[in-house]
């Protein structure tokens, strides 16, 4: 089955290893940073700086650049293997291989991820106050209040320069996760009494599709070879989970 229509379905994802877990967390933070980057108020400003602060913490852990390069190489080898399969779309594979090579080169030549974020005085000032409830009030950070009242175009230009150094990271991560998600296809499965379990091999990501109007969500647990899904109604007291229910599952 192709990707469920996200207008009618909600796609829930669950990582089966620590690396994929890290990639999904990083993807979420990057999405927050980019979506909140057009600051129009104090509230949106604090939300943006909070996401930036969390992103910096993630970037300061582990060898993200080398891990991304390893993943790009893994996908390159996989595509090269597919190129030998009869009747495969070699033109598409050639395009994908070139894209992987370009992303790898961009990662190699890119400066340290988030360096401008770490060195900026306004970001550092706000980060020091984020651990305090309400710590970014105007009386605590008058310089931040001034910054938020700078002309919109001036703020946008500053933020754009901050995010420029993140683009190679974001592009490589988007490529890796897109290829991972596309490596699996959705199939209809059936849960009994709100429960489903199965065995998998060499998989990194589970994707569960459920109709949004059912008000049922999956609680997933698992690891490299086995997983279980418990389906729960959002109204834990009055909601009903059918004895038999269909859902869409993709193992990537």
pLDDT tens figures, 169-227: 999 999 999 999 999 999 999 999 999 999 999 899 999 999 999 999 999 998 878 99
| 42, two tokens | 């104090």
Name which CATH class applies to 18-182: mainly alpha
CA torsion sign for 17, 22, 23, 29 is positive
Domains of the chain, by residue range, sit at 18-182, 184-251
Give the pLDDT of the chain (252 residues) as one tens digit per residue.
Answer: 556 665 689 999 999 999 999 999 999 999 999 999 999 999 999 999 999 999 999 998 878 999 999 999 999 998 888 877 777 777 888 899 999 999 999 999 988 898 899 999 999 999 999 999 988 888 999 999 999 999 999 999 999 999 998 999 999 999 999 999 999 999 999 999 999 999 999 899 999 999 999 999 999 998 878 999 999 999 999 999 999 999 999 999
What are all long-range contacts of 21-29, with beta carbons under 8 Å and residues at least 24 apart? 22/58, 22/62, 23/173, 23/176, 23/177, 24/177, 25/58, 26/55, 26/58, 26/64, 26/173, 27/173, 27/174, 27/177, 29/54, 29/55, 29/58
- Share of the chain residues as helix, strand and coil, in percent rounded to the nearest 5: 50, 20, 30
Q: What is the mean pLDDT of the chain?
A: 91
Give the residue from 230, 165, 176 showing the smallest Cα distance to 205: 176
184-251 is classed CATH 3.40.50.720? no
């Amino acid at each position: 089955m192709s990707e469920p229509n996200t207008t009618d379905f909600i796609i829930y994802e669950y990582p089966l290893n620590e690396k994929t877990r890290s990639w999904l967390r990083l993807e979420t933070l990057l999405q927050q940073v980019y979506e909140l980057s057009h600051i129009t108020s104090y509230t949106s400003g604090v939300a943006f700086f909070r996401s930036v602060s969390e992103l910096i913490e993630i970037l300061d852990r582990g060898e993200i650049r080398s891990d991304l390069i390893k993943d790009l190489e893994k996908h390159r080898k996989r595509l090269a293997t597919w190129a030998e399969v009869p009747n495969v779309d070699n033109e598409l594979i050639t395009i994908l291989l070139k894209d992987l090579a370009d992303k790898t080169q961009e990662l190699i030549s890119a400066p340290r991820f988030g360096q401008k974020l770490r060195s900026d005085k306004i970001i550092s000032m706000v980060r020091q106050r984020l651990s305090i409830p309400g710590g970014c009030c105007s009386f605590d950070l008058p310089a931040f209040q001034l910054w938020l009242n700078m002309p919109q175009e001036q703020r946008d230009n500053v933020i754009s320069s901050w995010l420029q150094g993140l683009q190679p990271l974001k592009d490589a991560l988007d490529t890796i996760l897109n290829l991972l998600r596309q490596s699996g296809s959705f199939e209809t499965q059936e849960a009994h009494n709100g429960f489903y379990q199965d065995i998998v091999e060499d998989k990194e990501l589970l994707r569960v599709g459920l109709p949004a109007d059912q008000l049922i969500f999956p609680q997933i647990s698992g690891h490299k070879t086995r997983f279980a899904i418990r389906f729960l109604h959002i109204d834990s007291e009055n909601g009903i989970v059918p004895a038999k229910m269909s859902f869409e599952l993709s193992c990537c």
